[in-house]
Amino acid sequence: MTRRRLYLFFVFAWAAFLALGASIYLGPYFAAWQIREAVAAGDAETLHDFVDFEAVRDNLKSELRRTVGASRRAQNRENAASGDGGAEAAEPTPDLGTQLAVAVGEAMIDQFATPEGVDRALRDGPTVAKGWSAFLDLGGESGEAVEGAGGVSVSAEYEGWNDFAVRLGVERDPPDEDPLWADILFERRGIWAWRVTGARVSPDAIPLLTR
């Protein structure tokens, strides 16, 4: 092999290595873009391919229990500070209302975090968009349609080699209030494939998304 051919071989090998690395790195960004396009087009079949529904249900139930528990602990701390609950009020105490809230929430997750639930949501586009437009439109005028909300921001980052999150945020008016945000969580499956496996939302965003 001549020196020129050897040089060209290394150039092409290096270019192929860079292209491979870029395709692996950009995989979740491309998956997020495909999901956005599928939502905009009402393409439920494509959307199903990008969601691990069992993992999503498990994640949302865990988030529900964490959120309810955190709210309960905060309430107990307030009661303790005001002298209504005694020294033990700082610890969460299970009650029928909390258990009922968790049970109802988990039942709703089992109903809606399914392929059938996604199909219904896409069919009811205008209704769903009332609450979700601030997050799904990814900018433009979506924030203006929501009372007390400003512009929409989108950011994305790796949270680990196999974990990726897309954060959709809405600035609030007045600006000194904490922004609303929702994270869509992705997990690597294989080398290039990515699937949605869960979500996180700021506590203040829950009423917006469910109204």
The DSSP string of 32-51 is HHHHHHHHHHT-HHHHHHTB
pLDDT, mean of residues 20-34: 89
Task: Please check whether residue 32 is in contact with residue 186, taking contact to mean a CB–CB distance below 8 angstroms.
Answer: yes
Q: What is the pLDDT of residue 147?
A: 44
Lowest-confidence range among 17-31, 52-66, 72-86, 120-134? Answer: 120-134
Residues 21 and 24: their CA atoms lie apart, in Å, by: 5
| pLDDT tens figures, 118-175 | 888 777 654 444 444 444 443 344 333 444 445 667 888 999 999 999 887 777 666 6
Residues 158 and 82: their CA atoms lie apart, in Å, by: 43
Most confident range, picked from 31-40, 83-92, 123-132, 170-179:
31-40
Residues 42 and 192: their CA atoms lie apart, in Å, by: 24
Q: Is 181 exposed, middle or buried (0-12, 13-18, 19+ CB in 10 A)?
A: middle
Residues 45 and 17: their CA atoms lie apart, in Å, by: 33
Lowest-confidence range among 41-45, 46-50, 129-133? Answer: 129-133
pLDDT, mean of residues 27-41: 87
Nearest by Cα to 34 from 48, 14, 23: 48
Q: What is the pLDDT of residue 151?
A: 63
